[in-house]
Amino acid sequence: MPDIHVGDLGTTYRMRIRDNDLPIDSLTGLTSAVLIFKTPGGNIEKPAEVETISGETWLVYVNDDPALHALAGKLSIQGRLIFSNGVQYSTDIETQDANSVPLVIGRNLV
């Protein structure tokens, strides 16, 4: 994850689709995918694209919502997958980036 600051737009979030740190077996019948962001201002749900990167399946969202980075503080992310048979599946909750750095929305100097 990139360095995130209050007011940033265009930040790309990529989250591996995993549960109990294992990949999900099949996305057959997937009708929608969202990322849920727990921010200092509350929970925000955003539609996500599904992409395959280096053989792994990821949820991807490019931030275009000023509310997502409105306040400084900790950030957590969880994916939700919805299938055509009505099954809804929640992924692991991520609180760190791929380099084990905590997800934080930082303050700006000015």
Residue percentage of the chain with pLDDT more than 70: 98
Band (pLDDT 50/70/90 cuts) for residue 1 is: very low
Mean local confidence (pLDDT), 39-67:
93
Q: Reading across the β-sheet that carries 56-62, which strands appear in turn?
A: 12-16, 56-62, 49-53
Integer Rg of the chain from CA: 14
106, pLDDT greater than 80: yes
Question: pLDDT for 69-99, tens place per residue?
Answer: 999 999 999 999 999 999 998 999 999 988 8
Picking from 11, 2, 19, the residue whose alpha carbon sits closest to that of residue 79 is 19
Q: What is residue 2's predicted lDDT score, i.e. its pLDDT?
A: 53
Question: Domain segments of the chain: what residues?
Answer: 4-106
What CATH class has 4-106?
mainly beta
